[in-house]
Amino acid sequence: MVSLSLFWEVIGKSVRGASHCRSGMTNQDDINYYPGQGASDTVMIAVSDGHGSPRCFRSDRGADFAVKAAVGSLRDFICDQDPCQSLSDIRQTAKDRLSREITMRWQHSVESHYKIYPFSESEYQILKDHSHFYAYGATVISVCVTPWFILYIQLGDGDILTVSAKGEVERPLPVDTRLFANETTSLCATHAWADFRFWVQTDLVNLPDMILLSTDGYANSFQDDSGFLKVARDIWEILRSDGKDYVQKHLEEWLNETSEGGSGDDITVGLVFPSR
Partner 1 sequence: MIKKRPGGELASRPLHFFWVADCSGSMSGDKIQQLNTAIRETIPYMQKVAEENPYASLLIRSIKFSDGAQWHISQPTPVADFKWLDLSAGGMTDMGKAMSLLAEQLQIPPMTDRALPPVLVLISDGQPTDEFNEGLNALMALPWGKKSVRIAIAIGKDADCDTLQQFIGHSEMQPLKANNPEQLINYIRWVSTAVIKSVSSPPSQPETNSQSVVNVPLPPLPVPDPTSAGDVW
Tell me which residues touch partner 1 (CB under 8 A).
Answer: 18-19, 23, 49, 51-56, 134, 137, 139, 156-157, 178-186, 188-189, 195, 216, 219-224, 226-228, 230-231, 234-235, 238, 242, 246, 250, 254, 257-258, 261-265
- Contact by Cβ (8 Å): 192, 134: no
Q: Do the beta carbons of residue 217 and residue 156 sit within 8 Å?
A: no
Provide the minimum distance between the beta carbon of 9 and partner 1 in the complex, in angstroms, as a whole number.
Answer: 18
**Amino acid at site 220:** N
Q: Pick the closer one to partner 1 by CB: 198 or 222.
A: 222
Q: Name the minimum Å distance from CB 120 to partner 1.
A: 19
Q: 55: which residues sit within 8 A by CB, 6+ positions away?
A: 126, 127, 128, 130, 134, 135
When the beta carbons of 92 and 131 are compared against partner 1, the nearer one is 131
Contacts of 258 (CB under 8 A, 6+ apart): 218, 221, 267
How far apart CA 258 and CA 222 sit, in angstroms, is 8
Closest approach of Cβ 208 to partner 1, in Å?
A: 17
DSSP string, 112-151: HHHHHSPPPHHHHHHHTTS-GGGGG-B-EEEEEE-SS-EE
CB crowding 219-233: b at 16 or more within 10 Å, else e = bbbbeeeeebbebbb
**Segment holding 49, helix H or strand E:** strand 43-49
Nearer to partner 1, 10 or 235 (CB): 235
Q: How far is CA 19 from CA 26, 60, 122, 249, 250, in A?
A: 10, 16, 25, 23, 21
The nearer residue to partner 1, 48 or 109, going by C-beta atoms, is: 48
- CB 211 → partner 1: shortest distance, Å? 15
Q: Report, in Å, the least distance between residue 73 CB and partner 1.
A: 21
Nearer to partner 1, 69 or 251 (CB): 251
- Work out how close the CB of 163 gets to partner 1 at its nearest, in angstroms, rounded to a whole number: 12
Smallest gap from Cβ 84 to partner 1, in A, equals: 40
Task: Give the nearer residue to partner 1 in terms of CB position, either 34 or 222.
Answer: 222
Q: Which CB sits closer to partner 1, 109 or 146?
A: 109
